[in-house]
Structure 1
């Protein structure tokens, strides 16, 4: 039995020492620690329970730790508790209230808490940016692997395939976007699962297989989709059990004795964007030559590609509800950046350049399209009078837009001795709307059309 190893929890201890999110229990923790410190000091020195006569204000060290750990609010609460403790344990019998001592300690706590608040915000912003880049990296990795596999398969059996692998993947992606009438209530929230399984069976030469939903760590006996003869899964089969427990691909090997009695050849998981196991694809029969590592890895990538499409479907649908003609990749990136702005407040922008039709206008348009940044998503449209290029610029504010426009204008001036005004090039910009990104894109397109 062969399995892939999941990633370990690398940041477990760091999250315990410095929590990323302040919960209601944080204030309770700060209060308890401060109260325990006061009780210990009172127990050790009943005559000076707040250690006011010592050379170092030790109790304020607890307040400082709380402020650095949870922010200025926690530090203020801890300092207020020390003030209450002075009135309860000391009072007027110990002399006047030490205003300078407590004012200095409270100032120290607020400064440390302010430091924590600022860097927590910066860390959250960096995490949002890194999450976006990680999402893009995963998509690029999948596309790179599919590209490599497609070239290898084209060399072997292109003539035996009704479609190229690229066309088939496009159809697979469309299955997650175009929800048919029976896909609205699809089990497990997987639209067009039957069509997806038929495509995977055609690509990976699978003869008999079924997809079963997983609920509570157990298989549902009713299949979501199947090809070939139907069968009832054996929940205690070692391949199925290993696939569910590990969330990884499991298949038979010639030197593996644990799966000798299994009637199945492979079990592949289908995971959502959060890594939750949605269903398991059980392969019961396929040609002997097709049972190899590369083919099974391709099957796993196809399932991941489909799962990512299902996860991204709400983002694409939200944009296409306002702009139905928006390309899939452009709508997906726009939805991702709108989600990033909602989560972290990071601005991204849209820039539309409208070029007049004609020999010179077409040359300017083509030169501008070739100069787009690698991270930007570009959508080009044509009308009888104009050609429009809309650039989606991730993590770019007004200053970034100005730099981009200056670079494009300098290039056109260098190549064609024209600028935006002399070339009759209209420039329209807009920020990405965090709540309704599709409406913002539609309004930008209307501005371009009205100008033309």
Structure 2
């Protein structure tokens, strides 16, 4: 039985074929491609009708179809270039005969090409924006799916494992998250680009009751014999073992309780892949010995998800570090979300916003603060900060511009007016807003916090 963790592709096959038929942006040789196609069409028409090489006497301007197709594929610049090529062809082939320049013909054709190119430019930008938003939502969906599975497993195993386990599942996830932090001494010393691989494997072995196992890196699709980390006595892997070959070829969990016949002749109990954020297989955990009762589907699934959680943490660490370098006290989830939105801003130019509300200390201020903190939207990330003089709520709002900020503030103020008959001014609530910085999100967050704490 195999289990595979797949990375979602927002557009699927439609996106792959759509980029071939109508690219989102022009390739470097797109203009040359359009000019050559126009030239070939003119030469074919001149060959067929030497007396009317541009087909001006026909009832339909056939040559302008080349300009129209170029404009629809690559934009208005390509359409205009193709039209200019047709005008140049008229001056070369038709002007020497003394024929008057067909102004209406070329004006209509050029207008058609520019309109089609303008249509292509607008929808290419919209498609790029939609792809960025879909990729962000896909990333959030993968994280939610992992968290949902971990929550279900924790509830199912809480009563069975509470006395047997030295730690809870929540403690295990917190520990794995801490192990993904790249300290200065680990950046160059972490084999395979996996920081703290040995403590991670020891903790996973303690959680899943593994006695003997080793984590081996994968290079060019082949397993290397030098382990990154191990628990129990060391061993050299058999690269021709059926479970190992199946795990390498499929990139999926393989174990001896699987239905395929090859698993019965294996020397090992399970092979668990470790897949990075790009979906590439980077290493394989080979389990050689574990208790019989621990060798079950749920326990192996938990081990697979723990390794995927660790790999995701390693991939997300640069995003978290870009925020915590400026604001070390920022919560992990908040810093990760801010880093993701900063990357989305750099890639697609999609704006996201930060809204900070500072409440004065006191009985009424605390009530207003608690009521506002409960009004978090589904996609928003929220961080609450307490100081001796005020309490601050910072809301990170994905894919939200100035209009979205105004709507959020209006909704919060309306709620406070209905519940407590106060607004921002009468409640002495300071409002500060900022856009997510594409280059230095931590710096933008730090400046917003300074504005909140300096406000009287």
Q: Tell me the TM-score range normalised by the shorter chain.
A: over 0.9
Mapped partners of 1:42, 1:412: distance in 2: 76
228 and 311 in structure 1: CA distance in 2 versus 1, 3 angstrom threshold: same
| Residue aligned with 2:263, SS | coil
Superposed displacement of residue 34, structure 1 = 2.2
Name 1:10's counterpart in structure 2: 13
Mapped partners of 1:342, 1:10: distance in 2: 25
78 and 237 in structure 1: CA distance in 2 versus 1, 3 angstrom threshold: farther
365 and 57 in structure 1: CA distance in 2 versus 1, 3 angstrom threshold: same
Mapped partners of 2:392, 2:91: distance in 1: 72
Name 2:202's counterpart in structure 1: 198
Are the equivalent residues in 1 in contact too, given 2:353–2:400 (CA < 8 A)? yes
| Residue aligned with 1:206, SS | coil
| Residue aligned with 2:336, SS | helix
Mapped partners of 2:110, 2:244: distance in 1: 59
335 and 3 in structure 1: CA distance in 2 versus 1, 3 angstrom threshold: closer
234 and 116 in structure 1: CA distance in 2 versus 1, 3 angstrom threshold: same
1:437 aligns with 2:441: yes
Cα RMSD of the aligned pairs, angstroms, is 1.9
Number of positions where the alignment pairs a residue of Structure 1 with one of Structure 2: 452
Superposed displacement of residue 124, structure 1 = 0.8
Alignment of structure 1 residues 10-409 onto 2, 5 Å:
10-11=13-14, 12-93=16-97, 95-179=99-183, 181-182=185-186, 184-253=188-257, 255-409=259-413
254 and 321 in structure 1: CA distance in 2 versus 1, 3 angstrom threshold: closer
Q: Select between 319-328 and 208-217 the one with higher mean Cα deviation.
A: 208-217
Deviations 1:45-89 (A, max 9, x none): 222222111110111111111111111122122222222332333
Are the equivalent residues in 2 in contact too, given 1:2–1:252 (CA < 8 A)? no
Mapped partners of 1:242, 1:254: distance in 2: 11
25 and 234 in structure 1: CA distance in 2 versus 1, 3 angstrom threshold: farther
Mapped partners of 1:154, 1:180: distance in 2: 37
172 and 96 in structure 1: CA distance in 2 versus 1, 3 angstrom threshold: same
Are the equivalent residues in 2 in contact too, given 1:239–1:259 (CA < 8 A)? yes
1:420 aligns with 2:433: no
Are the equivalent residues in 1 in contact too, given 2:2–2:258 (CA < 8 A)? no
371 and 36 in structure 1: CA distance in 2 versus 1, 3 angstrom threshold: same
Deviations 1:381-407 (A, max 9, x none): 111111111111111111111111111
Superposed displacement of residue 3, structure 1 = 5.3
| Residue aligned with 2:224, SS | strand
Spell out structure 1 runs of 4+ moving beyond 6 A. Answer: none
Mapped partners of 1:348, 1:66: distance in 2: 35
Q: Select between 282-291 and 406-415 the one with higher mean Cα deviation.
A: 282-291
Superposed displacement of residue 221, structure 1 = 1.8
Are the equivalent residues in 1 in contact too, given 2:212–2:231 (CA < 8 A)? yes
Superposed displacement of residue 177, structure 1 = 2.1
TM-score normalised to structure 1 length: 0.95
62 and 254 in structure 1: CA distance in 2 versus 1, 3 angstrom threshold: closer
Where does the alignment leave 5 or more consecutive residues of structure 1 unmatched? Answer: none
Deviations 1:19-58 (A, max 9, x none): 2332113233323332332232222222222211111011
| Residue aligned with 2:180, SS | helix
Where does the alignment leave 5 or more consecutive residues of structure 2 unmatched? Answer: none
Superposed displacement of residue 235, structure 1 = 2.4
77 and 215 in structure 1: CA distance in 2 versus 1, 3 angstrom threshold: farther
| Residue aligned with 1:159, SS | coil
Mapped partners of 1:149, 1:63: distance in 2: 59
Q: Select between 429-438 and 214-223 the one with higher mean Cα deviation.
A: 214-223
Superposed displacement of residue 254, structure 1 = 5.7
66 and 305 in structure 1: CA distance in 2 versus 1, 3 angstrom threshold: same
| Residue aligned with 1:155, SS | helix
249 and 35 in structure 1: CA distance in 2 versus 1, 3 angstrom threshold: farther
